[in-house]
Chain A
Amino acid sequence: MPFDCIVLVKQVPDTKRITGKAMKEDGTVNRSALPAIFNPEDLNALEMALSIRDSYGGRVTVLTMGPPPAAQVLREALYRGADEVALVTDRAFAVADTFATSYTLAKAIDKCGHYDIILCGRQAIDGDTAQVGPQVAGRLNIPQITYVESLELSPTAITVCREIEGGDEKVKCPLPALITVVDSANDPRPPRVKRLMQFKKAKTPTEIGRSMGMMTPNDWSENAEWQQAVKSADARGLLIPEWGASQIDADVTQCGFTGSPTRVVNVDSVTLTATEHKTVDPTEAGLRSLLAELATKHTLD
């Protein structure tokens, strides 16, 4: 029996690979210098969806909410085998906290129609909140299962093994359901060469407009050449749709900054500061004097 999966993914700055190049002189991170990547645990979620399709059949649809460059993660999903993708994008969606993000994603999911399982990574490496998954499930009023490591399916239920504190548990839940996937769940498959060659040409309407030298929708929406290019891309299965607020029937006051109950007041960069710092010789003499000093301070007996 086939299962239709929707996978929610995010393009994030690569916060785990802060090298000297991304560090500014004052010891803070230059965020714009970080490369943008597919959120690691979302790759695990995509892998799980593709494995479900391998075993049972069905469709894998991948959605991402983000600014125009986020189309790149959708191409990467296509390279790995996604059937359909869509970029949920609109200025109105910007600067959203997890509550507003979950509203927008839930509306986009409504637009997709039927689904059996929604999958997302446990958390994104920039926000680190792990909240969007459960909040989307809450909006859709479907059960959620977090920290999923593995799963089995029957026609109407999902049985998963999930992490709990100090161990794991096996739970069974009816479908439809939303699951969040942890990085220990699987090893995501790499892009397939044939699909990469095919889908690297896939573009959003915005990317088509920009590739023609135009800057904004005002410039291209009435442009006949652009309209033809979009039609042609669509006919060849190479159009990545962009869904704005009106396409997903979203109330803009519940999206983005306006729809966010939380406000960021202040952001301080964490600096690697020099504390009172002593260098100790790696010799026996050096280490003896270290131990003596620690003993004097009663740090060591």
Chain B
Amino acid sequence: MADASEVWVYAEQHNGKLHDVSLELVSRGRGLADDLGTQLSAVLLGSDVTPLAQRLIAQGCQKVYVANDSALQTYTTLPYTRTIVSLAEKHKPQIILFGASHLGRDLAPRVASQLKTGLTADCTDLRIGSYVDPKTKEEKHNLLQQIRPAFGGNIIATIVSPNHRPQMATVREGVMKLSEPDSTRKGEIISVPVDLDGTDMILEIIEQHTTPKTVDLKGARIIVAGGFGVGSKDTFELVRQLAGTLGGEVGASRAAVDAGFISRDHQVGQTGTTVRPKLYIACGISGAIQHQAGMAESGTIVAINSDPQAPIFSVAHYGIVGDLNEVIPTLIKAYKSK
């Protein structure tokens, strides 16, 4: 029997700006809600954040629950958990989705624990499907299939919460595609009362430092990425030069970032950014699964590596076995002189 309860997306915002991952989740959530024949709602917490609700409606929400309170201005775990838990207990959504951001990975498990329900982290796909209990052979339909890598990315698991509600999942930024918003869409904005306990406000934020992102990997159509094989921060200049020549963005593997060749903002992979450029050129990247997870859906993959056995060659459309110190300058020369 169809479940009329809603699909929810937690709408993360910082300083009055919605996090991209929440908009991506609304895009996907719209499809899930349609499959289930139910409504998609967003849950928005903050201080004076009601103006953001219309953007969520334009993205595909039929409803936005807005909880405004000065105590919610900056995220801390307990007040946000309490607010979402009491909202969920009242309205009983069948699904709640969170972005797997730093905030989401702090908040979602605590909310799930309080709601005594299951949570699957870092899903790479979400679908509606059926499940047969292997012991009782009981069939359940219209469950949220939570698909995710595990074991360092070496396996893909499909997980369901057959008997507990809400079904909860987190998804990393860039994994779900952002659909086109429609500013003519209409929806309901519901102001919810915020009822916090003194015991929720025990964490004191003394200071925060954030540096705005200088790199837009997600939006890049061409990415030239360097790995540990580049060898040094100085040699990384070659990667930058090739990116500049082709009009692309500079990416990096985790190993290159950890080695100090380039900053973490440039990291592509399971713990970095997931990217889908038209062209991805991997220079001196071995191609560990965790890296592949972040770029395997690129339109065309070109790999340059001196090791013919490097795993990257298995996913590359074009493989160049050679020394990047020679190949990159030659490539730049060939491009410029055509």
Q: Measuring CB to CB, which residues of chain A are less than 8 angstroms from any residue of chain B?
A: 13, 15-16, 18, 28-29, 31, 97-99, 102, 125-135, 137-139, 143-147, 159, 163-174, 260-270, 272-284, 286-288, 290-292, 294, 297, 299-301
Contacts and interface: CB of A to CB of B under 8 A. Distances in A.
A290 B317 CA distance: 11
Contact of B117 (A28, A165, A261): A261
A263 B140 CA distance: 13
Nearest to A184: B258
B315 A169 contact: no
Contacts of A170: 205-208
Given A128-B151, A275-B317, 13 more contacts: A29-B151, A126-B151, A130-B121, A135-B109, A143-B77, A144-B110, A146-B102, A167-B210, A169-B205, A173-B203, A261-B116, A262-B119, A286-B320
Contacts of B161: 261-263
A270 B315 contact: no
Interface size class of B (residues with CB under 8 A): 35 or more
Interface string B110-137: 1011101111111000000001000000
A166 to B, nearest CB: 4
A128 B338 CA distance: 47
A288 B300 CA distance: 17
Contacts of B81: 138
A288 B119 CA distance: 50
Nearest to B101: A165
Given A99-B119, A165-B101, A280-B319, A128 B152 contact: yes
B302 interface: yes
Nearest to A262: B118
Contact of B109 (A128, A134, A168, A297): A134
Contact of B300 (A31, A171, A294): A294
Contacts of B103: 164-165
B154 interface: yes
B209 interface: yes
A287 B330 contact: yes
19 contacts: A18-B152, A29-B154, A31-B151, A125-B152, A126-B150, A126-B151, A131-B108, A131-B109, A165-B102, A167-B209, A168-B209, A264-B158, A269-B156, A275-B314, A275-B316, A279-B320, A288-B338, A290-B320, A291-B334
Contacts of B163: 261
Contacts of B304: 282
A164 B209 CA distance: 9
Contact of A267 (B157, B320, B323): B157
B40 to A, nearest CB: 23
Main secondary structure, interface of A, reads mixed
B210 A272 contact: no
B155 A282 contact: no
A299 B302 CA distance: 11
Contacts of B105: 130-131, 146
Contacts of A159: 206
Contacts of B212: 166
B3 interface: no
A133 to B, nearest CB: 8
A172 B120 CA distance: 29
- Give the one of A102, A294, A297 with max B CB within 10 A: A294
Contact of A274 (B153, B202, B314): B314
Given A135-B113, A164-B102, A169-B205, A270 B155 contact: yes
A124 B202 CA distance: 28
B321 interface: yes
Contacts of A126: 150-152
B83 to A, nearest CB: 15
- Give the one of B160, B163, B213 with max A CB within 10 A: B160
Contacts of B145: 265
A163 B76 CA distance: 13
Nearest to B320: A280
